[in-house]
Structure 1
Amino acid sequence: MSNVIESNLRQCEDLAVEGWALLVGAKPAETSLVRREGDAAVRSNTPDLSSPQLNASHDHGAVPFEPDMRTASIDDDAPSENRQPLGGWAKRLLDLMVASTALILAGPILVLIPLLIKATTGGPVLFVHRRIGFNGKAFDCYKFRTMVPNAEEVLERHLSCNPQAAQEWAANQKLSCDPRILFFGRMLRKSSLDELPQLFNILRGDMSCVGPRPVVADELQRYGAASHEYLKTRPGLTGLWQINGRNTTEYSHRVLLDTQYVGAWSLRRDLSILLRTIPAMLKFDQTS
C-alpha cells in the first residue's frame, strides 16, 4: 500500500513541476533543450571512476582526503542499496511541510521572476542541471537561469585567456568575476532567489530542505573519502555552507561542513539551520 501511495504522490509531484514550468513560460522544447545540454555536460565531465589515474592533485583547493570514488555511483539506473536517506521519515515529513508552505508563500515570486527573465533576456526560464543525490543517483536540479545561453562556451573562452581565473576555477569551481552571469541573474544569486525552483526538487524527493550542497559528477571526486558521507543523504536547499559564509567559504571547508552535518545530524539541528538561513539570505552575497 505504501508503495502505491508513494508512486501516486510522485506522479502528482511530476505533474505539478511540469505544470508550473509551462505556466511560467518554460516551453517543453526549451526545457528539453536545457536538459539535453545538462546531460551532455555530465557525460563529458564525468570522471572514469574505475581509472587508477583519477586524482585531484591538479586542483589547488583539493581537500585533504584520500580519493576513494568506488562509493560514488552516478548511473541513473544503478541499483540502490536498501537503506533510507539520513533522517528517514521524520526528515522527509519536515521537508514536505516546509517546502509546501514555502511554495505557497513564494507563489507570486515564482511567477514574477520568470516574467522578468523573459522580458530582459529571453530564452529558457529554467536551468536544469544534473546533480548527484542520495546513494549516487543523478537527478535534474532546477534553478532560474542566471547566465547567458552559451555559458559553457563563454566559460571555456574566459579560462583559456585568463590563467588566474583558470586557477580560481580549479580551486573553488567558482569565479569572483564570472562573465557568464547576467545583471539580473547576479541579483537573483545574491539573494538566492535563483534556487527557489529547488522547492519542487524537495517535493519530488530529490533534495531535502537541509543537507550538503548539491554537486555535479566531476565535483564529487574532490570529496575523496568524504563522498561516503555525502551519499548518505539528499543534498539540501540550505545547509551549514549556506549559513557559514556561502560563496566566501573555501572549497575544502565546504566539504568539511558537509561531512560534519551528516555526522552530527538531528532534526533539531535541521530546524536551527532553517531558522539561521533566513537572516543569511537577507544579507546579499558579495561574491555571487
Structure 2
Amino acid sequence: MTRRHREVNTGVLRHAIRPAIGILPLALAIACASVAQAVPQPGVTTSPAQPGGSPSAVQPGTTVSPAAPQSSPQVDYVVPENHRPIPAETEPAPAIDWQSLHTPEPVEPVAPIAPPPRTVRIGDFYTPAPDAVPDEILNPVNDFSADAEAALATGLQSIGIDASRSDKIAGMTAAGAVTGAALLGIPGAVAGAVGGGVGGGIIGAGVGAAIGAGVGVGIVAATAAAAGASTGGIGAAIAAPEAIPVIGGGALIGLGVGAAVGAVGGAALGAAAVGIPMAVLGGVGGGIAGAAIGGAF
C-alpha cells in the first residue's frame, strides 16, 4: 500500500468519524446533566390595610411598592421568526377535561420553542451545551426536538386540550423520551461495544495473522523466483530458515492490524446492536412516563 493511498484512506476516515466524535459530548451532557429549568413564581401584590384592620409591619421610613404582576417572561435572546421563547409557568395549567375531548379538529399550528443560544433543549430538559459541540450539531438537534414537540402540542390542542396543558404534556414527553433513551441506551451501547470489541478483536487477529503470513509467503516466493530459483525450488526456498522471519513477521503484523480493525468494527457493531434497541425501548417508556406526568401535574 503506497503512502498516498494511506493518506487518502486516513483523510476519508477522519471525515467519516468527525460527526460521531463531535456528538459524544452532547450525548454525555444529556445523560449526565440535571434538568436546568427554573419555574418563575407568580407575582405577589401587597394590598393596603383596611380601616380597623391589623397595623402593617412596615418599618418607619421604608416604602413598600406593590409587586408588578408577571404577564410574560422576559426574553433576553433573539427568537427566530415563526418561533416562540421558552414559556414561563405563571399559574398551574388547567387539568384535562376528559368530557370535553373530541375528535381532531383543525387548529392553528403551535410554534416551536426556540432555546437561548448554546443551550441544549429537548422538551422540558435544557442545559448549557458543551463547548466541544459545534452549532452544526447543536442546532439540528434543537430544531428536530422543537418541531416534534410543537407537532405533539398541536395534536393535543386539536382534540380539545388546553394550550398550556398541551405544552406541559409535549415538553414532559420529549424530556422523558430522551432521559429514558439515555438511561438505557448508553449503558447498552457500552456493554455491546465491550462484547463486540473483544469478539471482533479475536476474529480480526486470526484473520489478520493468516493474511499476514500469506503475504510473507508471497514475498519469499517472489524473492526466490527473482533470484533464479526454479519452480520446484520455490517451495524449498520458502522452507529455508531465512524465510521464517519474513513469514513470521508478516503474520505478526497481520495479527496486530487485524485485531485492531476487528476490535473497532466489533465495538461499533456491538454498540449499535445493543444500544439502539435499548435506547428505543427507554425512549418509548420515558416518553409515556413523561406524558403521564405532564397530564397529571
TM-score per shorter chain, which class? Answer: under 0.3
TM-score (norm 1): 0.22
Which is richer in strand?
1
Q: For the pair shown, which has the larger CA radius of gyration, 1 or 2? A: 2
TM-score between both structures, scaled by the size of structure 2: 0.21
